[in-house]
Structure 1
Protein backbone atom coordinates (compact mmCIF):
# COMPACT_ATOMS: atom_id res chain seq x y z
CA UNK A 1 0.00 0.00 0.00
CA UNK A 2 1.16 3.50 -0.81
CA UNK A 3 0.28 6.76 0.84
CA UNK A 4 0.15 9.96 -1.19
CA UNK A 5 -0.38 13.07 0.90
CA UNK A 6 -0.86 16.75 0.42
CA UNK A 7 -1.16 19.71 2.77
CA UNK A 8 -3.62 22.51 2.28
CA UNK A 9 -3.68 25.81 4.13
CA UNK A 10 -5.95 28.81 3.73
CA UNK A 11 -7.17 31.75 5.76
CA UNK A 12 -10.57 33.15 6.62
CA UNK A 13 -11.94 36.25 8.28
CA UNK A 14 -14.32 34.01 10.27
CA UNK A 15 -13.30 32.97 13.81
CA UNK A 16 -12.24 29.35 14.41
CA UNK A 17 -15.19 28.53 16.69
CA UNK A 18 -17.79 29.65 14.12
CA UNK A 19 -16.05 27.91 11.25
CA UNK A 20 -15.69 24.71 13.25
CA UNK A 21 -19.38 24.68 14.21
CA UNK A 22 -20.40 25.20 10.59
CA UNK A 23 -17.82 23.05 8.79
CA UNK A 24 -17.37 20.12 11.17
CA UNK A 25 -20.29 19.99 13.60
CA UNK A 26 -23.17 21.00 11.29
CA UNK A 27 -21.64 20.13 7.94
CA UNK A 28 -24.41 17.60 7.20
CA UNK A 29 -26.99 20.37 7.17
CA UNK A 30 -24.80 23.11 5.72
CA UNK A 31 -23.19 21.42 2.71
CA UNK A 32 -26.42 21.07 0.67
CA UNK A 33 -27.01 24.81 1.27
CA UNK A 34 -23.54 26.04 0.32
CA UNK A 35 -22.86 23.54 -2.49
CA UNK A 36 -26.32 22.56 -3.84
CA UNK A 37 -24.96 21.72 -7.27
CA UNK A 38 -22.58 19.20 -5.70
CA UNK A 39 -24.19 17.86 -2.51
CA UNK A 40 -27.80 16.72 -2.43
CA UNK A 41 -27.83 15.40 1.11
CA UNK A 42 -25.72 14.13 3.96
CA UNK A 43 -26.97 11.85 6.73
CA UNK A 44 -25.72 9.68 9.55
CA UNK A 45 -26.27 6.01 8.76
CA UNK A 46 -24.50 4.58 11.81
CA UNK A 47 -23.42 6.07 15.13
CA UNK A 48 -24.21 9.12 17.24
CA UNK A 49 -22.16 11.83 15.51
CA UNK A 50 -18.92 11.13 17.39
CA UNK A 51 -15.86 9.12 16.37
CA UNK A 52 -16.83 5.92 14.57
CA UNK A 53 -19.95 7.48 13.06
CA UNK A 54 -20.57 6.65 9.39
CA UNK A 55 -22.10 9.31 7.17
CA UNK A 56 -23.40 8.97 3.63
CA UNK A 57 -23.10 12.00 1.35
CA UNK A 58 -25.31 11.82 -1.72
CA UNK A 59 -24.23 13.96 -4.63
CA UNK A 60 -26.54 15.97 -6.85
CA UNK A 61 -27.78 14.60 -10.16
CA UNK A 62 -25.19 14.95 -12.86
CA UNK A 63 -22.29 14.38 -10.48
CA UNK A 64 -19.65 11.89 -11.49
CA UNK A 65 -20.39 9.68 -8.48
CA UNK A 66 -23.67 8.98 -6.69
CA UNK A 67 -22.43 8.92 -3.09
CA UNK A 68 -19.54 8.44 -0.68
CA UNK A 69 -19.39 7.13 2.87
CA UNK A 70 -17.24 8.84 5.48
CA UNK A 71 -16.22 7.65 8.95
CA UNK A 72 -15.54 10.25 11.62
CA UNK A 73 -12.17 9.48 13.17
CA UNK A 74 -11.71 12.45 15.52
CA UNK A 75 -13.60 15.48 16.80
CA UNK A 76 -11.96 17.86 19.26
CA UNK A 77 -14.25 20.82 19.92
CA UNK A 78 -11.79 22.51 22.28
CA UNK A 79 -8.90 22.49 19.79
CA UNK A 80 -11.01 22.78 16.61
CA UNK A 81 -9.67 19.60 15.03
CA UNK A 82 -11.64 17.14 12.94
CA UNK A 83 -10.60 13.99 11.13
CA UNK A 84 -12.52 11.64 8.90
CA UNK A 85 -11.92 8.90 6.36
CA UNK A 86 -13.65 8.42 3.05
CA UNK A 87 -14.21 4.66 3.26
CA UNK A 88 -16.54 3.88 0.35
CA UNK A 89 -16.88 5.41 -3.09
CA UNK A 90 -17.31 4.40 -6.70
CA UNK A 91 -14.17 6.48 -7.26
CA UNK A 92 -12.06 3.80 -5.59
CA UNK A 93 -12.35 1.36 -8.55
CA UNK A 94 -9.72 -0.99 -7.15
CA UNK A 95 -7.18 1.80 -6.71
CA UNK A 96 -7.85 3.17 -3.23
CA UNK A 97 -8.41 1.70 0.21
CA UNK A 98 -9.44 5.00 1.76
CA UNK A 99 -8.74 8.71 1.84
CA UNK A 100 -8.13 10.38 5.20
CA UNK A 101 -8.66 14.04 5.95
CA UNK A 102 -7.56 15.96 9.03
CA UNK A 103 -8.05 19.64 9.63
CA UNK A 104 -7.35 22.10 12.37
CA UNK A 105 -8.54 25.67 12.70
CA UNK A 106 -6.34 28.13 14.56
CA UNK A 107 -6.82 31.81 15.27
CA UNK A 108 -4.97 34.09 12.92
CA UNK A 109 -3.21 37.24 14.16
CA UNK A 110 -5.69 39.32 12.11
CA UNK A 111 -8.65 37.95 14.08
CA UNK A 112 -9.91 35.28 11.69
CA UNK A 113 -8.78 31.70 11.16
CA UNK A 114 -6.14 29.62 9.50
CA UNK A 115 -7.27 26.22 8.22
CA UNK A 116 -4.52 23.63 8.18
CA UNK A 117 -5.47 20.41 6.44
CA UNK A 118 -3.77 17.14 5.50
CA UNK A 119 -5.19 14.66 3.02
CA UNK A 120 -3.78 11.15 2.53
CA UNK A 121 -4.70 8.77 -0.28
CA UNK A 122 -4.14 5.17 0.85
CA UNK A 123 -3.71 3.15 -2.34
CA UNK A 124 -3.98 -0.57 -2.94
CA UNK A 125 -0.78 -2.30 -3.97
CA UNK A 126 1.59 -0.12 -5.94
CA UNK A 127 -1.08 2.17 -7.39
CA UNK A 128 -0.14 5.84 -7.67
CA UNK A 129 -2.12 9.06 -7.48
CA UNK A 130 -1.45 11.46 -10.31
CA UNK A 131 -0.50 15.07 -9.62
CA UNK A 132 -3.59 16.26 -11.56
CA UNK A 133 -5.84 14.44 -9.07
CA UNK A 134 -4.11 16.10 -6.13
CA UNK A 135 -4.41 19.55 -7.75
CA UNK A 136 -8.09 18.92 -8.47
CA UNK A 137 -8.73 17.81 -4.88
CA UNK A 138 -7.01 20.92 -3.49
CA UNK A 139 -9.09 23.16 -5.75
CA UNK A 140 -12.34 21.45 -4.67
CA UNK A 141 -11.39 21.77 -0.99
CA UNK A 142 -10.64 25.47 -1.44
CA UNK A 143 -13.97 26.09 -3.21
CA UNK A 144 -15.93 24.29 -0.51
CA UNK A 145 -14.15 26.12 2.28
CA UNK A 146 -14.77 29.49 0.59
CA UNK A 147 -18.45 28.56 0.07
CA UNK A 148 -18.80 27.93 3.82
CA UNK A 149 -17.00 31.21 4.54
CA UNK A 150 -19.30 33.10 2.14
CA UNK A 151 -22.37 31.59 3.81
CA UNK A 152 -21.13 32.66 7.25
CA UNK A 153 -20.36 36.17 6.03
CA UNK A 154 -23.86 36.44 4.53
CA UNK A 155 -25.43 35.05 7.73
CA UNK A 156 -23.54 36.70 10.61
CA UNK A 157 -25.96 35.45 13.29
CA UNK A 158 -25.62 31.71 12.59
CA UNK A 159 -23.17 29.43 14.43
CA UNK A 160 -22.41 31.97 17.14
Structure 2
Protein backbone atom coordinates (compact mmCIF):
# COMPACT_ATOMS: atom_id res chain seq x y z
CA UNK A 1 0.00 0.00 0.00
CA UNK A 2 1.64 3.21 -1.22
CA UNK A 3 0.80 6.67 0.08
CA UNK A 4 2.02 10.26 0.30
CA UNK A 5 1.58 13.23 2.60
CA UNK A 6 2.76 16.71 1.73
CA UNK A 7 2.94 20.17 3.26
CA UNK A 8 3.94 23.42 1.58
CA UNK A 9 4.59 26.81 3.12
CA UNK A 10 5.84 30.18 2.01
CA UNK A 11 8.68 31.77 3.92
CA UNK A 12 9.83 35.34 3.50
CA UNK A 13 13.46 34.59 2.65
CA UNK A 14 15.16 33.96 -0.69
CA UNK A 15 15.24 30.35 -1.89
CA UNK A 16 19.04 30.27 -1.63
CA UNK A 17 18.86 31.10 2.08
CA UNK A 18 16.24 28.42 2.74
CA UNK A 19 18.32 25.87 0.80
CA UNK A 20 21.39 26.75 2.89
CA UNK A 21 19.38 25.39 5.83
CA UNK A 22 17.52 22.46 4.24
CA UNK A 23 20.25 21.35 1.85
CA UNK A 24 22.84 20.82 4.59
CA UNK A 25 23.08 19.18 7.99
CA UNK A 26 22.21 22.58 9.52
CA UNK A 27 18.49 21.74 9.74
CA UNK A 28 19.25 18.91 12.20
CA UNK A 29 20.58 21.38 14.78
CA UNK A 30 17.29 23.24 14.80
CA UNK A 31 14.85 20.34 15.11
CA UNK A 32 16.51 18.84 18.19
CA UNK A 33 14.39 19.59 21.22
CA UNK A 34 11.02 19.33 19.51
CA UNK A 35 10.25 15.71 18.62
CA UNK A 36 13.90 14.70 18.46
CA UNK A 37 16.18 14.06 21.38
CA UNK A 38 19.29 13.71 19.22
CA UNK A 39 20.55 13.62 15.64
CA UNK A 40 23.85 11.82 15.21
CA UNK A 41 25.84 11.80 11.97
CA UNK A 42 26.91 8.18 11.52
CA UNK A 43 28.54 8.64 8.15
CA UNK A 44 28.99 11.39 5.57
CA UNK A 45 29.11 15.16 5.30
CA UNK A 46 25.53 15.98 4.33
CA UNK A 47 25.75 14.82 0.72
CA UNK A 48 24.24 11.70 -0.85
CA UNK A 49 25.04 8.63 1.22
CA UNK A 50 25.06 10.50 4.54
CA UNK A 51 23.52 8.40 7.31
CA UNK A 52 21.91 9.96 10.39
CA UNK A 53 20.54 8.34 13.53
CA UNK A 54 17.43 10.19 14.71
CA UNK A 55 16.55 9.53 18.36
CA UNK A 56 13.02 10.51 19.30
CA UNK A 57 11.74 11.75 22.62
CA UNK A 58 10.02 9.06 24.71
CA UNK A 59 6.36 8.52 23.89
CA UNK A 60 6.58 9.65 20.26
CA UNK A 61 6.21 6.23 18.68
CA UNK A 62 9.65 4.94 17.72
CA UNK A 63 12.76 5.19 19.86
CA UNK A 64 14.98 5.84 16.82
CA UNK A 65 15.63 5.23 13.17
CA UNK A 66 18.51 5.61 10.75
CA UNK A 67 18.00 7.58 7.58
CA UNK A 68 20.19 7.87 4.52
CA UNK A 69 20.32 10.85 2.16
CA UNK A 70 19.59 9.33 -1.22
CA UNK A 71 19.49 12.59 -3.16
CA UNK A 72 20.96 16.04 -2.57
CA UNK A 73 20.37 18.16 -5.68
CA UNK A 74 21.78 21.63 -5.07
CA UNK A 75 20.77 22.89 -8.51
CA UNK A 76 17.07 22.03 -8.12
CA UNK A 77 17.13 22.38 -4.31
CA UNK A 78 15.78 18.90 -3.53
CA UNK A 79 16.92 16.57 -0.76
CA UNK A 80 15.57 13.08 -0.13
CA UNK A 81 16.21 10.76 2.80
CA UNK A 82 14.97 7.21 3.35
CA UNK A 83 14.70 5.21 6.55
CA UNK A 84 17.23 2.38 6.29
CA UNK A 85 16.96 0.85 9.79
CA UNK A 86 14.51 0.86 12.68
CA UNK A 87 11.38 2.94 13.04
CA UNK A 88 8.88 2.40 10.25
CA UNK A 89 10.82 -0.53 8.81
CA UNK A 90 10.23 -2.43 12.07
CA UNK A 91 6.43 -2.26 11.66
CA UNK A 92 5.94 -3.49 8.10
CA UNK A 93 6.99 -0.53 5.95
CA UNK A 94 9.18 -1.22 2.94
CA UNK A 95 9.70 2.48 2.18
CA UNK A 96 9.59 5.67 4.21
CA UNK A 97 11.06 8.65 2.33
CA UNK A 98 11.07 12.36 3.18
CA UNK A 99 11.65 14.91 0.43
CA UNK A 100 12.51 18.57 1.03
CA UNK A 101 12.04 20.92 -1.91
CA UNK A 102 12.75 24.64 -2.03
CA UNK A 103 11.21 26.53 -4.94
CA UNK A 104 11.27 30.11 -6.09
CA UNK A 105 7.97 31.77 -5.32
CA UNK A 106 6.29 32.37 -8.71
CA UNK A 107 4.28 35.24 -7.19
CA UNK A 108 7.36 37.11 -5.95
CA UNK A 109 9.21 39.01 -8.68
CA UNK A 110 11.72 40.35 -6.14
CA UNK A 111 12.96 36.91 -5.02
CA UNK A 112 12.45 37.76 -1.37
CA UNK A 113 10.33 34.69 -0.57
CA UNK A 114 10.24 31.04 -1.50
CA UNK A 115 8.10 27.95 -1.14
CA UNK A 116 9.16 25.03 1.01
CA UNK A 117 7.56 21.68 0.27
CA UNK A 118 7.99 18.62 2.44
CA UNK A 119 6.67 15.27 1.28
CA UNK A 120 6.51 11.83 2.89
CA UNK A 121 6.24 8.82 0.60
CA UNK A 122 5.67 5.42 2.11
CA UNK A 123 4.91 1.86 1.18
CA UNK A 124 3.65 -0.67 3.71
CA UNK A 125 3.13 -4.40 3.26
CA UNK A 126 -0.56 -5.32 2.87
CA UNK A 127 -0.56 -7.42 6.04
CA UNK A 128 0.58 -4.33 7.98
CA UNK A 129 -1.74 -1.87 6.20
CA UNK A 130 -3.24 -0.71 9.52
CA UNK A 131 0.21 0.65 10.43
CA UNK A 132 -0.13 3.27 7.68
CA UNK A 133 -1.92 5.26 10.40
CA UNK A 134 1.53 5.86 11.96
CA UNK A 135 2.30 8.20 9.07
CA UNK A 136 1.29 11.74 9.94
CA UNK A 137 2.13 15.21 8.71
CA UNK A 138 2.84 16.40 12.27
CA UNK A 139 6.63 15.98 11.88
CA UNK A 140 6.48 17.96 8.63
CA UNK A 141 4.53 20.76 10.25
CA UNK A 142 7.01 20.81 13.13
CA UNK A 143 10.02 20.99 10.80
CA UNK A 144 8.39 23.75 8.72
CA UNK A 145 7.58 25.76 11.85
CA UNK A 146 11.06 25.47 13.37
CA UNK A 147 12.81 26.15 10.05
CA UNK A 148 10.62 29.16 9.26
CA UNK A 149 11.20 30.68 12.71
CA UNK A 150 14.95 30.24 12.34
CA UNK A 151 15.02 31.63 8.78
CA UNK A 152 12.96 34.68 9.69
CA UNK A 153 15.06 35.46 12.77
CA UNK A 154 18.31 35.17 10.83
CA UNK A 155 17.05 37.23 7.88
TM class, shorter-length: 0.7 to 0.9
Mapping 1:83-94, distance limit 5 Å: 83-94=80-91
Residues 43-58 of structure 1 correspond to what in structure 2 (within 5 A)?
Answer: 43-58=40-55
**Aligned pair in 2 of structure 1 residues 139, 62: CA closer, same or farther (>3 Å)?**
closer
Q: Does the 8 A contact of 2:49 with 2:68 survive in 1?
A: yes
Structure 2 equivalent of residue 3 of structure 1: 2
Q: CA deviation at 1:73?
A: 0.6
TM-score normalized by the length of structure 2? 0.81
**Contact conserved, 2:40 with 2:53, CA < 8 A, in 1?**
yes
Partner of 2:17: 18
| TM-score, with length taken from structure 1 | 0.78
**In structure 2, how many angstroms separate the alpha carbons of the residues matched to 1:37 and 1:81?**
24
Partner residue, 2:144: 145
1:16: how far off?
A: 1.5
Unpaired segments ≥5 residues, structure 1: none
Which segments of 5 or more consecutive residues in structure 2 lack a partner in the other structure? none
Cα distance in 2, alignment partners of residues 19 and 129 from structure 1 = 36
**Which residue in 2 is equivalent to 1:31?**
31
Distance 1:78 1:130 in 2: 36
Give SS of 1:127's match: helix
What count of residue pairs does the alignment treat as equivalent?
150
Equivalent position SS for 2:28: helix
The 5-angstrom pairing of residues 91-106 of structure 1 reads 91-106=88-103
Answer yes or no: is the 8 Å Cα contact 2:19–2:77 preserved in 1: yes
